[in-house]
Amino acid sequence: MDDRSYLAHRLRAGKVLVMTGAGLSTDSGLPDYRGPDGVRRVQPMTVAEFRAGAAARQRYWSRSYVGWTRFRTAEPNPAHDHLARLEGAGLLAATITQNVDGLAQRAGSRTVIELHGNLGRAICLDCRSTVDREWVQREFTRLNPAFAADAERARNLPLRPDGDVDIDESLIHDITLVHCPTCGSDLLKPDVVMFGESVPKPLVDHCFDLVAASRTLLVVGSSLGVMSGYRFARRAAALEVPIVLMNTGWSRAEEIATRHVHRPLREVLQEAVWDVLGDVPGTDSGSESGD
């Protein structure tokens, strides 16, 4: 059975648990973390660095401030749309996403577990209250008008996977940090799991339960290079749940996977919609047609 037929077979069986990674959002203009060979492109700030002092937080929020304007305007791409349609047809049990962009939900997926949080929120490390990221952006602008004006020079720099840009250090001067509106702390951070942090255990346990209840684990656009996601593939393998990898590069789970489909996501998922939902290529089927 070829890859296309096998994927259609697994989808028709239902109870497919999807795990998505940064590769799902590259067609939306958001870069992924690793090249085709699996080597990490950038080294993000760790939570220990973030906590260490105000200078690190000034650097983080300055870079994030510049990148946010572009990050927040990213739109779901056809691969997101295809997954939403497959979920709507009752074939997908849930989606565990390692992405922090919220694009799966905007495309129409309803049962989405955000393993690593969402950049659309910020959280206080002291009192644990959350605030909307747009509020942080407005406050940062109000508190740092000179930087906000200078930052226009950096708007077109390459966006990094965490939604920031690598701006020149000379731009980061006299930055006033935004403080938590609840407790007044300056330890506001994006509500995402930074390197050095752990995914909450109840969330991990819930994901393990989803793996155990699934008939297939479909990994879309993720190399599973970090244990945070790879552990779910390991659990699926231990439970003899078939694992289908879908990306164009290296995967840490290659040796335990049932299939590895090395083709562009939007093409493979478009074919799945045609094969499983009965859509006819070339007909008007919403945003999926003409890909």
Which tens digits make up the pLDDT trace of 91-110? 999 999 999 999 999 999 99
Phi, psi at 247, each rounded to 5°: -160, 175
Active site residue 116: yes
Q: Specify the length of the chain in residues.
A: 291
pLDDT at 286 over 70: no
pLDDT in the model for residue 280:
56
Buried-exposed string 48-57: b where 16+ CB fall within 10 A, e elsewhere: ebbeeeeeeb
Contact 132/140 with Cβ under 8 angstroms? no
Amino acid at residue number 96: I
pLDDT in the model for residue 159:
84
Where do the domains of the chain lie, and which CATH numbers do they carry? Answer: 3-288 (3.40.50.1220)
More confident residue, 160 or 235: 235
pLDDT tens figures, 235-263 = 999 999 999 999 998 999 999 999 999 99
SS3 assignment for the chain: CCHHHHHHHHHHCCCEEEEECHHHHHHHCCCCCECCCCCECCCCCEHHHHHHCHHHHHHHHHHHHHHHHHHCCCCCCHHHHHHHHHHHCCCEEEEEECCCCCHHHHHCCCCEEECCEEEEEEEECCCCCEEEHHHHHHHHHHHCHHHHHHHHHHCCCCECCCCCECCCHHHCCCCCCCCCCCCCCCCEEEEECCECCCCCHHHHHHHHHHHHHCCEEEEECCCCCCHHHHHHHHHHHHCCCCEEEECCCCCCCHHHCCEEECCCHHHHHHHHHHHHHCCCCCCCCHHHCCC
pLDDT in the model for residue 63:
92
In the chain, pLDDT over 70 holds for what percent of residues?
Answer: 92
pLDDT at 39 over 70: no
pLDDT at 174 over 70: yes
Q: What is the mean pLDDT of residues 43-60?
A: 91
Q: What is the mean pLDDT of residues 122-140?
A: 97
Other beta carbons less than 10 A from residue 200's beta carbon: 11
Asked if residue 207 belongs to a known ligand binding site, the reply is no
Which region among 50-59, 150-159, 201-210, 244-253 has the lowest average model confidence (pLDDT)?
150-159
pLDDT at 43 over 90: no
Over the chain, what is the mean pLDDT? Answer: 90
pLDDT band at 281 (very low <50, low <70, confident <90, very high): low
pLDDT in the model for residue 168:
79
Which of 9, 82, 116, 260 is flagged as catalytic?
116
pLDDT at 282 over 90: no
